[in-house]
Amino acid sequence: MQPAAITGVGYTALSHASGTSVLELARSACAAAIEDAGLDRSEIDGVASFMLNDDSVPCLAVATALALPEQRLVLDLNLGGQAPCHLVSLAAQAIRCGQARHVVVYRAMNGRSGARVGAMHFPGLGGAYRYPIGYESYLMYIAMWARRFLFETGQGEEDLAAVVLAQREYALRNERAFRRKPLDRDSYLGSPFVVEPFRGPDCTIEVDGACAVVVSALDRARDLRHPPAVIRASAYRAGRRAGLDIGDHLYWEDYTRNYTSWLRDDLFREAGLAPSDIDFAEIYDCFSSTVLMGLEGLGLCERGESGAFVRSGATRLDGALPTNTHGGLLSEGYLHGMNTVAEAVLQLQGRGGDRQAPRHDHGIVTSGALMDGSALILGRDR
């Protein structure tokens, strides 16, 4: 079986209003990722992406605009932030089976000037119980879980603040980041609530833009421009009673544990690693609470101790586990977690610049916030 690795990453600029079509954003980010890998477009034989409510363009449109040759793997998923690690995993599985050699995975959206995920109504049977009463944004669903999580684990606004401030510090070292204004505890606590317990800085910033990565067969990856980010383990998991649609959590039993708690054991087992072996983490963070829940769910710290862990400086560059080194979706911008994967690749490859984690042999990255999601462990070659 042929192992797989991520070989290149590509971005467009992130903006309030791209003035560009979503197809052009997608094409541009994919072309940049292929170029970054050092591949010729004639070698790409797979394309994978995801969208919500038709807010993006299908893979074959992008393959056509990129003048790609015939495609052997095409995956268009109707999913949100659960998808990036999951798509990389599916691409890697196809490569392992010999069904594809190089798959470009992207997310493209005019997520601020066009369709905005934050206020979208999602199709599905759960909407009947949400939308008529004004429970109508992802922000509210995550806030509902955050309240219960903070209550049960004995944590609070100081712990959310710690995440936001630590990530904003990273953003100062990331030219791509959308929010780069320094933020201190008092300014955080002085920010008005949007949906309690979340203030403005607890929420990701919606942007226009695109991000892509290339997943390649490892035998070819070894000849390419950058050191391969080898996919050591991957997992997708939907917990039981996952609900009626992407925004329905009424059947989910425990709002203090998301999919990370359910995929953790399989993920580490496949990698042959323990949480203590992980050098850096990129945790999906549409909202601040999901970082705390992810750190605890993955076993990177004990239950109820994630806030103290972040406040101790452990997630800073000189800490035990640099986390969300691009500033997260909170600061860099909301490319739906595709950029979370790309940042993990840059770190693993040692291309993090001013924000490079000193140890980067193994990194963990997640996609998703609630009932279902996915994760990868990336490692250096050999």
Partner 1 sequence: MRPEPTIDLDNAFYWEGLRDAEIRLQRCEACGRRRTPPLPACPDCGDPRATIEPASGRGRIYSFVVAHRAFSPAFEADVPYTVAVVELEEGGRMLARLEGGDGPPRIGEAVRAAFRLRGGDADETEWTEAFFVRAPAGGDEGEPG
Catalytic residues: 284, 334
Stretch that binds partner 1, among 95-103, 131-139, 203-211, 292-300 (CB under 8 A): 131-139
Residue type, 226: H
Please name every residue paired with 215 in a beta bridge, in sequence order, or none if there are none: 6, 103
Residue type, 149: F
Stretch that binds partner 1, among 35-43, 173-181, 240-248, 365-373 (CB under 8 A): 240-248
For position 74 contacting partner 1 by CB under 8 A, the verdict is no
Least CB distance from residue 52 to partner 1, whole Å? 16
CB 236 within 8 A of CB 374: yes
Question: ω into residue 197 within 30 of 0, thus cis?
Answer: yes
Stretch that binds partner 1, among 18-26, 97-105, 114-122, 318-326 (CB under 8 A): 114-122
Please name every residue paired with 16 in a beta bridge, in sequence order, or none if there are none: none
For position 126 contacting partner 1 by CB under 8 A, the verdict is yes
Least CB distance from residue 193 to partner 1, whole Å? 5
For position 76 contacting partner 1 by CB under 8 A, the verdict is no
For position 111 contacting partner 1 by CB under 8 A, the verdict is no
* Pairing state between β 362-367 and 280-282: parallel
For position 189 contacting partner 1 by CB under 8 A, the verdict is no
For position 195 contacting partner 1 by CB under 8 A, the verdict is yes
For position 115 contacting partner 1 by CB under 8 A, the verdict is no
For position 130 contacting partner 1 by CB under 8 A, the verdict is yes
For position 119 contacting partner 1 by CB under 8 A, the verdict is yes
Tokens of 140: 């509210």
Least CB distance from residue 58 to partner 1, whole Å? 27
For position 136 contacting partner 1 by CB under 8 A, the verdict is yes
| Angle of helix 259-271 versus helix 289-297 axis, rounded to 10 | 50
Nearest CB to partner 1, comparing residues 12 and 256? 256
C-alpha 307/C-alpha 289 separation (Å) is: 10
For position 147 contacting partner 1 by CB under 8 A, the verdict is yes
For position 128 contacting partner 1 by CB under 8 A, the verdict is yes
Query: Is the backbone of residue 341 left (phi > 0), alpha (psi -120 to 50) or beta?
Result: alpha
**Contact with partner 1 (CB under 8 A) among 11, 255, 280, 284:** 255
Strands (E), 52-186: 73-78, 102-110
Stretch that binds partner 1, among 6-14, 139-147, 306-314, 329-337 (CB under 8 A): 139-147
Please name every residue paired with 237 in a beta bridge, in sequence order, or none if there are none: 373
Give the C-alpha distances (Å, rounded to integers) separating 18 from 12, 13, 109, 110. Answer: 10, 8, 10, 7
Stretch that binds partner 1, among 87-95, 188-196, 202-210, 351-359 (CB under 8 A): 188-196
Least CB distance from residue 253 to partner 1, whole Å? 9
Give the C-alpha distances (Å, rounded to integers) separating 314 from 307, 328, 378. Answer: 10, 16, 20
Residue 182, exposed/middle/buried by CB under 10 A (0-12, 13-18, 19+)?
A: exposed
Nearest CB to partner 1, comparing residues 23 and 242? 242
CB 209 within 8 A of CB 56: no
Binding site for partner 1 (CB under 8 A): 118-119, 121, 125-137, 139-140, 143-145, 147-148, 151, 192-197, 240-241, 244, 250-251, 255
